[in-house]
Each structure stands twice: as structure tokens, then as C-alpha cells.
Amino acid sequence: MSTLLQVSGLSTHFHLPQGTLKAVDGIDFSLESGKTLAIVGESGCGKSVTAYSIMRLIMPPGRIESGEILFEGRDLLRLSEREMQELRGNQISMVFQEPMTSLNPVLTVGRQIAEGLLLHRNLSRDEARAEGTALLRQVGIPSPEARCNDYPHQLSGGMRQRVVIAMALSCRPRLLIADEPTTALDVTIQAQILELIDRLQSDSGMGLVLITHDLGIVAERALHTAIMYAGKIVEYAETEEIFSNPLHPYTQGLLAALPQNAVPGEPLSTIPGQVPNLLSDSPGCGFCERCPVKEWACLQEKPAMKEAAVDHLVRCWKFQ
Amino acid sequence: MNAPLLETSALKKFFSIRQGAFGETRDLKAVDGLDLRLHEGETLGIAGESGCGKSTVARLIMGLVPPSAGAISYRGRNLAEMGRNEQFAFRKDVQMVFQDPFSSLNPRMRVGDIIAEPLAIHGLASGAQKRNAVLDLMAKVGLAEEHFTRYPHEFSGGQRQRIGIARALAVSPRLIIADEPVSALDLSIQAQIINLLQELKKELSLSFLFIAHDLSVVRHMSDRVAIMYLGKIVESGSRDAVFSRYLHPYTEALLSAVPRIKAQQRGKRIILQGDIPSPLAPPPGCPFHTRCPYAETPLCTEVPPPLEEKEAGHMAACHLSGKLYR
């Protein structure tokens, strides 16, 4: 298997009047083609900024400060904007959380799908239309010929997300970045969409970076999992290993807090406190304020990522 | 047995929708003949997907929208027949916790004033007494004294939900209607709020109508559960009956669609085809037959199944129930 995506030392900061917000603060991961990596974390942990950084869609006051994003061996951060446009939507695609905001409300669905095809695959208008219809059929939209003439508001949430996925897949990308692709959807529709992505992935060998906060989806779909907290990856391993042998206190806390893992009606285990404000940069571990096993060292200095078990990386002083 | 704390009978809410500028109006059947019963000290969970009418149920009970037909009774008294004073007392007894902690608090009021407002409206306390009552409430939900003079925007989602809960508790209600109280919160915060609600329920012997789409949360919170689809209850019963011995194919599909952490909990996934039909044009017969993997008889497509007691306390609306393959 070849490495499709290799991210190393990526830092994306936002320069705000109040100070520098280190949304992504030195993260490393890699993904092989055909495989799925899940990036998990709560709001504000930097998982979406990671996705936007790979797509190079960070706008001021945000800036990618350092790092390397190797896509099939090429560093995306060294490409010109023009070269990046060639890749974006073509070899690297993204599905956003809220389908209504990623579709243009005043263009028909067919027109929007055709856009990528005209731009990247040099199809004629008729060919693009035929291909667009085929894509809509592939993602399970009934009577796609008629749906092509619909505007986004005429479709249900599940349908819209299918359209967004059809658009993302229209140029047969090598890498798909899906940022909470099913969070806005009902659970029966979510099951449909996840099956669809699964099928397309095994058909085409596409790599998938799946960003989500739903640990159930992660457990079922991803080969590897990265747990993010306060801009850093705090634990990284194969998904099965993380769920059966979580080492970081934050991961342990998350898994214990799930109603699924509890006896109904009994108190849930909680992580006290709240997600830290990333503007106030403390010298110690980002999690130490909420950590049940913190020690003196945790407050003084940030721990490094260490291999605590085979292929199981943890950022915690307990494992230094 | 005493009258239930809250009861709805054949409750309906239809919204008239005009299609196009000159089009004819049609009825959107948001809630279509709902019989609920909630006993004192109990948590009744209502689960279902978006558009099933579960939030409309909350709004009907709170009197935010008038019912189109049917009745709501509180302690055996029909709401529609209550006089002004009795209605005022009902509104004190029944309080609501909303889904979105960002839009349900007035951004221009201080936290202390937000929590004190219901006390003033119901004339329960004033002056120093009111201030102490508010501080008590804040302590109860885990807010610090210094938060009294802050504004909602200074708080995180979880803390705002605590403010909303304190406001609901201010007038010593008996019943809390909670509409998706944790769905906007992060996982680690969600567990804190769930625990808080459970503790308060025990401490203040409250009853809950708990509305949510997340089945694992509903399961955790509820004593009894009702599953809604297109404005109707398709299955109801005790938590264990509905989650372990479900009788309706929709309940089965809904449960099978939940992504599981533990591999041994994963059963065969049933992928429902298609979307939920529009409540403007619900299908004839059983409302679920268009997506049901078992529906085959003309009975399913033509005759709406009644909600029947299939075993003690366990109701289902399905012509085929008992024939599920599990």
C-alpha cells in the first residue's frame, strides 16, 4: 500500500486582536490509499481547521505557520494557488457538514455537479450532464434526470448531502475529506450515506479522512483513529486498539462518558470542566486542567508524542 | 390508580400550508392522534427522526400552539377547561428546557436576572429573598456565585444549558419538558448535563418528558419510551420493552442504524430505503409501509394499523408485529 497523505508538523494559527489562537499546533498523521483515518474531538479542538488546512482553504486571520502536507509525494503547501486549484475538487475533495451552506441556492443541482466536470475533466456540456445524472443515480437519488433541474431547497437534508457527495466524487478523487458528513442527518439517513461512502471507497481505492465527534461511527468505519484535543493529536493508533486499550486520560474519559457504555439510569462518568480557551497558552499539557491523574510535571511542560505500545502513540507524561 | 400527571388524548395539530401563491391549502399533520400518559415521578422519552412531530408535542403541552383537536389534561383536569388562575398555576408547574442554549437566553439580561424572572412573574420572591433563591438555584446546577452578574455570551454551551435548567427550576415545577436538551453539547459536556438532570429529578422528585433523537440518550434517561413516526406513536412501552423486545419494524431499523462502539453490540444493519415521506402527503395505510422491509400485505398499504397493546404495557401500531426476524 502506498502512502496517500502524509502530514507532518502542521500548525495553523489564527492571529486575532486578542492574541494568537493555535487552532492546530503541530500535528502528524498519514493515510494509505483505500483506507480511512478518523479524526475525533470536541468542538474547538482543531479538527475542522485541519481539514481546511489540507485543502488550503485557510483565510486570514488564519495562517498555516509550518509543516508539510505530502499528497502522493507532493507538498501541498509549496504548490502555487493555480496548481492547488487543479487538485482541489479533482484529486482531493471535501464534504462539509451542512449541505445547505455548501450548495449554491440559486443554481440547479445538475448545474452544480457539472461545474467540476467541465472544469477538471474537459467534458462537453452534454457529457457533463449525462455524467452528473449518472453520479446522482450512483448516490441513490431516485429519478435523477428530474432532480437535476431542482434547486437545493427542493431537496430534503439527506438528498442534499447525497448531492454534495456526488459533487465531491464527480472527478473520482484519490482523497476525500469528510467533515462531519452525517451530523446534520437523521440516523436512518446517516446509515444510508455511510454505506454509500463505504461502497464507493472499496470500488475506487479512495482514501478517506473522516472528521467526526461520533465515536460509534469511528468504531465502525475507520482503520486508524487520531484523537485531537486543544489543537494537538493526543492519541493515535488503530481504531480497535484505541477502543480496547485507550491510554490517554482524555480518550478514557470520552469513552466512559458515552451513554452507550453505561447502565441506563446510572450516573455517567464525566470529564470535569470545559474545553480550554486556546488563546491562553499555558506551559503545561493542554488537558491537565481537566485531567484526573495530573502530576506536577503536567503543569510545567508539554508532553511529546511517544510510542506507548506497538503502533500506539500517546501524548501524556505518564508514558514519557 | 391516581390520574396521570399529564395525559393527552387523540391530540392533533394540523398546520395549514398554502402551496404556491394561489395554490390550495393543505394540512400538514404534525401530530396526528396522540395518546400519551405520564405518571408522577416518571421520565417519558419521546424519540423519532426530524419531522416526526416530537417538538410539536412539547409546544402543544406548553400551550405555545393550540391543538387542532383532542385534549391535554394535567392531574385529570383538561387544559382547555381551566380558568385563568388554574392555567397560571399549570404554567408554573410545567417548565421547559430548550435545545439551543444559545438562542433561548436573552443576550441582554444578566444571568441572575434571567433566573429570577420566573420568580418575579409568579410573585414567589422579591428583594434579598429573590437573590438568595437565585444563588441557591445556581449552586444547585453547578454555577458559581460570580456568574450572577455575567451575560449569556460569556458562557460555553454546557454552562448556558445549566442557566436554562436553573431558570426552569426557579418556580419549583413538577414536570420538566426537555426538548433535545443535550444534542447541541459536546460529548464530555453532554454527560455532565445528563447527570445533572438525573440528580435533580431524584432530589426534587420531578417528572420529565424527555424528547430527543439520540436513542442512547433516550434509553439512558427514560423509564418509558414512545417512538414517533409521521405524527403518530408507532411503539411505546417500558424502556426495556422498547429497546430489547421491540415490536415495530421502524423501532428495529432505528436501533440497528445507531453506530455501535462495541463490536458485539452490532447486529445486522437494516438500511431503510428512501426518506421520511412528507407529512403534507402521508402515505395511505400504515405510514411506515413505504420504507418498511416487511410490508407486503395489502393490509399494510391500505389500512392504518391501530396502536394496540401487544403485551402488558407494550403498545405497537403494526399489522405484522411479532413477525420481526430477530
Lowest mean pLDDT among B113-122, B221-230, B276-285, B304-313: B276-285
- Beta carbons of B186 and A42 less than 8 Å apart: yes
Residue B326 has pLDDT above 70, yes or no: no
pLDDT at B1: 55
Nearest in space to A11 (alpha carbons), one of A79, A43, A58, A44:
A58
pLDDT at B110: 94
Q: How confident is the model at residue B79 (pLDDT cuts 50, 70, 90)?
A: very high
pLDDT at B22: 74
Residue A277 has pLDDT above 90, yes or no: no
In DSSP terms, A94 is beta-bridged to A177
Tell me the three cell numbers of residue B6: 399529564
- State which amino acid sits at residue A288: C
pLDDT at A142: 79
CA of residue B299 relative to chain centroid, distance: 31
The number of helices, as runs of H, and strands, as runs of E, in chain A is: 11, 12
A228, HSE (Cβ side, Cα atoms, 13 Å): 29
Of the candidates B220, B266, B276, the beta carbon closest to that of A259 is on B220
pLDDT tens for each residue of A26-79: 999 999 999 999 999 888 889 999 999 999 999 999 999 999 999 999 999 999
Angstrom distance (rounded) from CA A253 to CA B192 = 12
Residue B323 has pLDDT above 80, yes or no: no
- Beta carbons of B257 and A159 less than 8 Å apart: no
Residue A173, φ and ψ in degrees, nearest 5: -65, 155
Q: Which residues contact A262 (CB under 8 A, 6 or more apart)?
A: A268, A269, B220
pLDDT tens for each residue of A182-196: 887 788 888 888 888
DSSP label of A211:
E
pLDDT at B202: 94
What's chain B's average pLDDT? 90
The residue in chain A having the minimum alpha-carbon distance to the alpha carbon of residue B252 is A188
Per CB-CB distance under 8 Å, the chain A contacts of B219 are: 259, 264
Strands, sheet with A3-16, edge to edge from the N-terminal-most edge strand: A19-32, A3-16, A62-71, A74-75
Per CB-CB distance under 8 Å, the chain A contacts of B190 are: 257
Q: Which residues contact A48 (CB under 8 A, 6 or more apart)?
A: A179, A180, A211
pLDDT at B324: 66
8 A C-beta contact, residue A177 and residue A92 = yes
Residue A209, φ and ψ in degrees, nearest 5: -105, 115
pLDDT at B322: 63
Across the A/B interface, how many CB contacts are shorter than 8 Å?
116
Instruction: Name the one residue in this structure whose C-alpha cell is 455511510.
Output: A194
Q: Which residue has the higher pLDDT, B218 or B324?
A: B218
**DSSP letters spanning A224-262:** EEEEEETTEEEEEEEHHHHHHS--SHHHHHHHHT-GGGS
DSSP label of B282:
P
pLDDT tens for each residue of B36-57: 999 999 999 999 988 888 889 9
- State which amino acid sits at residue A128: A
Per CB-CB distance under 8 Å, the chain B contacts of A156 are: 275-276
Q: Which residue has the higher pLDDT, A222 or B267?
A: A222
pLDDT at B325: 52
High-pLDDT (> 70) share of chain A, %: 100
CB distance from B190 to chain A under 8 Å? yes
Angstrom distance (rounded) from CA A196 to CA A141 = 12
- Beta carbons of A254 and B188 less than 8 Å apart: yes
Residue A306 has pLDDT above 90, yes or no: yes
Helices (H), chain A: 47-54, 81-87, 109-121, 125-138, 144-147, 157-169, 187-204, 215-221, 239-244, 249-256, 296-300
- State which amino acid sits at residue B267: G
pLDDT at B162: 92
The residue in chain B having the minimum alpha-carbon distance to the alpha carbon of residue A188 is B257
8 A C-beta contact, residue B98 and residue B168 = no
pLDDT tens for each residue of A143-172: 888 889 999 988 887 788 889 988 998 888
Instruction: Name the one residue in this structure whose C-alpha cell is 493542554.
Output: A286
Per CB-CB distance under 8 Å, the chain B contacts of A221 are: 259
Q: How confident is the model at residue B7 (pLDDT cuts 50, 70, 90)?
A: very high
Which uninterrupted H or E stretch holds B92?
helix B84-93
pLDDT at A18: 86
Angstrom distance (rounded) from CA A170 to CA A286 = 40
The SS3 assignment for A26 reads strand
Average pLDDT over residues A257-286: 85
Q: Chain A residues within 8 A (CB-CB) of chain B?
A: 42-43, 142, 156-159, 186-192, 194-195, 213-217, 219-221, 243, 253-255, 257-262, 264-265, 267-272, 274-275
Average pLDDT over residues B146-150: 92
Residue B21, φ and ψ in degrees, nearest 5: -65, -35
CA distance B65 to chain A (A): 25
**DSSP letters spanning B129-196:** HHHHHHHHHHHHTT--GGGGG--GGGS-HHHHHHHHHHHHHTT--SEEEEESTTTTS-HHHHHHHHHH
Q: How confident is the model at residue A243 (pLDDT cuts 50, 70, 90)?
A: very high
pLDDT at B280: 82
CB distance from B217 to chain A under 8 Å? yes
- Beta carbons of B217 and A216 less than 8 Å apart: no
CA distance A191 to chain B (A): 6
Q: How confident is the model at residue B287 (pLDDT cuts 50, 70, 90)?
A: very high
CA distance A250 to chain B (A): 10
CB distance from B266 to chain A under 8 Å? yes
Q: Which residues contact A83 (CB under 8 A, 6 or more apart)?
A: none
8 A C-beta contact, residue B233 and residue B35 = yes
Angstrom distance (rounded) from CA A223 to CA A201 = 13
Residue B224's alpha-carbon distances to B8, B46, B209, B245, B247, in angstroms, are 16, 9, 10, 13, 15
Q: How confident is the model at residue A278 (pLDDT cuts 50, 70, 90)?
A: confident
Q: Note whether ipTM > 0.85 here.
A: no
Please state, as a whole number, how many other Cβ atoms lie within 10 Å of the Cβ of residue A222.
23
Angstrom distance (rounded) from CA B237 to CA B44 = 10
8 A C-beta contact, residue A67 and residue A10 = yes
The SS3 assignment for B312 reads coil
What's chain A's average pLDDT? 90
DSSP label of A304:
P
Tell me the three cell numbers of residue B119: 420568580
8 A C-beta contact, residue A231 and residue A286 = yes
Q: How confident is the model at residue A283 (pLDDT cuts 50, 70, 90)?
A: confident
Average pLDDT over residues B271-289: 85
